[in-house]
Amino acid sequence: MRKKIALIGGGQIGQILAMLAAQKELGDIVILDVPGYANVCKGKALDLMEMAPHGNYDANIIGTSDYKDIEGADVVIVTAGKPREAGMTREDLLNVNIKIITEVANGVKQYAPKAFCIIVTNPLDAMVYVFHKVTGFPKHQVIGMAGTLDTARWRAFIAMELGVSVADVAGTVLGGHGPDMVPLPRLTTVGGVPLTEIATPEQIEKLVNRTREAGTEIVKLFGKGSAFFSPAWSAIVIAESYLKDKRRVLPCAALCEGEYGVNGLFIGVPCLISAKGMEKIFEIKLTEEEKAQFQKTVASVTKTVSECNI
Catalytic residue among 54, 132, 140, 177: 177
Confidence of residue 84 (pLDDT cuts 50, 70, 90): low
What pLDDT, on a 0 to 100 scale, did the predictor assign at position 197? 97
Residue 121 counted as an annotated binding residue = yes
- Residue 7's Cα: distance from chain center in Å? 13
Distance CA 35, CA 67 (A): 11
Confidence of residue 139 (pLDDT cuts 50, 70, 90): very high
Distance CA 252, CA 145 (A): 6
Q: Are 250 and 260 in contact (CB under 8 A)?
A: no
23-70 tens-digit pLDDT: 999 999 999 999 999 999 999 999 999 999 999 999 999 999 999 999
Distance CA 42, CA 39 (A): 5
| 3-state percent breakdown (helix, strand, coil) of the chain, nearest 5 | 50, 20, 30
In the listed set 120, 146, 172, which residue is the last one of a domain according to the structure? 146
DSSP designation for 140: G
Full residue range of the structural domain in which residue 61 is found: 4-146
DSSP designation for 91: G
For residue 177, indicate whether it is catalytic: yes
pLDDT at residue 287 above 90? yes
Residue 122 counted as an annotated binding residue = yes
Residue 169 counted as an annotated binding residue = no
156 and 236 belong to one structural domain: yes
Q: Are 178 and 123 in contact (CB under 8 A)?
A: yes
Q: Where are the beta strands (DSSP E) in 67-130?
A: 75-78, 116-119
pLDDT at residue 171 above 80? yes
Assign residue 48 the CATH number of its domain: 3.40.50.720
10 and 139 belong to one structural domain: yes
pLDDT at residue 310 above 90? no
136 and 278 belong to one structural domain: no
Cα angle 143, 147, 153; round to 5: 145
132 and 226 belong to one structural domain: no
99-133 tens-digit pLDDT: 999 999 999 999 999 999 999 999 999 999 999 99
Run of H or E residues at 158: helix 146-162
Residue 125 counted as an annotated binding residue = no
Assign residue 219 the CATH number of its domain: 3.90.110.10
Residue 12 counted as an annotated binding residue = yes
Run of H or E residues at 124: helix 124-135
256-267 tens-digit pLDDT: 999 999 999 999
Confidence of residue 88 (pLDDT cuts 50, 70, 90): low
Domain count, the chain: 2
Run of H or E residues at 195: helix 195-198
Confidence of residue 85 (pLDDT cuts 50, 70, 90): low
What pLDDT, on a 0 to 100 scale, did the predictor assign at position 90? 58
41 and 141 belong to one structural domain: yes
Q: Which of 176-180, 200-204, 219-223 has the highest mean pLDDT?
A: 200-204
Name the packing angle between helices 146-162 and 214-222 (round to 10°): 80
183 and 99 belong to one structural domain: no
Give the contacts of 238 (CB within 8 A, at least 6 positions apart): 118, 143, 145, 148, 248, 250, 252, 273
